[in-house]
Amino acid sequence: MSKGAKIPVGIVMGSDSDLEVMGKAAEVLDELGVEFEMRIISAHREPEEFYEYAKKANERYSIVIAGAGKAAHLPGMTAAIFDGPVIGVPMKTSDLGGVDSLYSIVQMPSGIPVATVAINGGANAGLLAVRMLAMEDDELKERMKKYISAQKDAVVKKDEKLQKTGYRDYHN
Ligand code: RP5
């Protein structure tokens, strides 16, 4: 990274058990040509390392996507230290289905926002970061529009297939 240049997106998660979901954010960024750095840092299990990470994030990233599960303090604590936008991704959990993670991330006190996506919403976290970056980047905006248009084409194809097969044979 050249001096002064920021990596557009930092992706951070509390554990490798979050990787599958956070990988969806990475896939979107890869597909749309947005550079990112991905780290596993636990706010609870290594608080000093986490604090250093969040402080350095100010000079390193434009946006941080933070995913965590259970008592998911990583996104909120990142937002308390990092000055840029934080997108929070609540992980689905085995005990409480991810509502624990969701409430931990979405219920931030006034003054410290975290833009929270759905439980396991890694892909939308990536897309939200792309939308933010595209506000200042016309080429990225064009790539984003193509991505959106491809989604539309996929739905149109599904409907065409449904009209041909009928609902009984659609999945056969
Ligand atoms: C959180 O605890 C992590 O974000 C993860 O979702 C959850 C469980 O972590 P592991 O026990 O799987 O490492 O800090």
Report d(CA 92, CA 84) in Å as an integer: 26
- Helix/strand/coil for 2: coil
The pLDDT value given to residue 5: 87
Q: Which residue has the tokens 């990787």?
A: 19
Q: Which protein residue's CA is at the shortest distance from atom 2 of ligand 1?
A: 69
Residue 127 Cα to ligand 1 middle (Å): 24
Residues 78 and 86 sit within 8 Å (Cβ to Cβ): yes
Ligand 1 centre to CA of 18 (Å) is: 7
Q: How many other C-beta atoms are found inside a 10 Å radius of the C-beta of residue 46?
A: 14
Measured in Å, residue 161 CA sits from the centre of ligand 1 at 41
Whole-prediction pTM = 0.95
Ligand 1 shell residues, CB under 6 Å: 13-15, 17-18, 42, 44, 68-70, 91
Each residue's pLDDT tens digit, 108-120: 999 999 999 999 9
CA 152 – ligand 1 centroid, Å: 35
In this prediction, the residues of the chain whose per-residue pLDDT falls under 70 are 1-4
Specify the pLDDT at position 1: 57
The residue to which tokens 């990142």 are assigned: 78
